[in-house]
Amino acid sequence: MGKIGTIPMIEGLNQDLVKKAQKRLDNLTKPQGSLGRLEELASLIVGITKKENPSLQNKVIFTFAGDHGVTEEGVSAFPKEVTPQMVYNFLRGGAGINVLARYVGARVVVVDMGVASDLKPHSDLIVKKIGYGTKNIAKGPAMTKDEAARAIEAGMEVFDKEFERGIDICGTGDMGIGNTTPSSAIASVFTGRSVKELTGRGTGIDDKAFQNKVRVIEQAIEVNKPDPNNAIDVLSKVGGFEIGGLAGVILAAASKNVPIVIDGFISGAAALIAYHLEPKVKDCLIAAHSSVEIGHKAVLDHIGLSPLLDLNMRLGEGTGAALGMGLAEASIRIMTEMATFESAGVSERSD
């Protein structure tokens, strides 16, 4: 119990292909390295996908929703009804992630991992409900170890099913009122840093609510004593259903050589779970942006990722991931569409 049946096999990066891609980029009509991170991104995507001419036609954002019992401690500025209301908004195409996904040409896959109420059926809603919200982590574990394992497995299943329709690159996104609280707890357990250093204001709480939030997270860790050497233990004690599901998406995507663009703080917490289950996932991760949430940087540093964008964003849903995907596609077009010095008859450096 509490063990995932199978952590899928992950190959990791093909370094030879990465080098080959950089060599190819060096022959394009520009000073070597002058497109900076776009060049790194293109080589990385070649190394992940093992395709010398990857197409990023099929782009998918996985937006997973779940509720959190800890909201009864007053850790969020929004009431928890907002979780299902936003799921309906996703399904109608009116949320931030819908707009940005449309802009970059990605489809949004919306999954109920554990919303606290029953959602009206919808042809585009995938229901993988592990429970009606987690339990209050300030008082005990969020979920059982078995539920934690099932959340991860559900995420893998969602990815695998969607993969049949075609996925060249994917992004992670979240919706769950209160979910920066478990994310801070997860970040603190794995990085060993203090809760205070890793806790932000989520959707926008005031000073007093912030002090309370820090105290609640500290208490959650004290009460549950999650074991940093056991990612399932951490997820079950201070995690969330959507966080577990996204960890599953990351594991499944990495095993299929699909690059994963991770969004902000909650996606970062999911990446921590996946990384501590199988460190090789790191090779397949692209950090889209640096969130306003103060703990996000520590999460990315811990895994060893450097964010592409810093636009002062803190919405979640996969909004940062969508913008990061746009850069990923731009990078591949640079590599595959630009002329070479030879084909364009342009002289190379004179030294």
Instruction: Please name the helix (run of DSSP H) or strand (run of DSSP E) that holds residue 113, with its range, or none.
Output: strand 106-114
Question: What is the C-alpha R_g of the chain?
Answer: 20
Q: Where are the beta strands (DSSP E) in 192-344?
A: 260-262, 285-287
> Which of 18, 75, 308, 325 is the binder for its own copies (CB under 8 A)?
308
149 vs 164: CA distance, rounded Å: 23
Q: Does residue 330 touch its own copies according to CB under 8 A?
A: yes
Q: For residues 108 and 90, is the Cβ–Cβ distance under 8 A?
A: yes
How many Å from the N-terminal Cα to the C-terminal Cα in the chain?
Answer: 65
* CA–CA distances in Å: residue 187 to residues 231, 260, 298, 300: 12, 20, 8, 10
Structure tokens at 245: 């599901």
Q: Does residue 38 touch its own copies according to CB under 8 A?
A: yes
CA angle, 290 then 296 then 298, to 5°? 115
Q: Does residue 207 touch its own copies according to CB under 8 A?
A: no
- Cβ 333 to its own copies shortest distance, Å: 5
Catalytic residue chosen out of the listed positions 162, 242, 278, 317: 317
Size of the site for its own copies (CB under 8 A): 63
> Which of 17, 65, 82, 221 is the binder for its own copies (CB under 8 A)?
82
- Nearer to its own copies among residue 112 and residue 153 (C-beta): 112
> Which of 203, 212, 219, 230 is the binder for its own copies (CB under 8 A)?
203
Site string for its own copies, 153-172 (x = CB under 8 A): --------------------
In the complex, the residues that contact its own copies under the rule CB under 8 A are 28-38, 77-79, 81-82, 85-86, 88-89, 92, 94-96, 98-100, 102-103, 203-206, 209, 292, 308-315, 319, 323, 326-327, 329-330, 333-334, 337-339, 343-351
Indicate which residues carry an active-site annotation.
Answer: 317
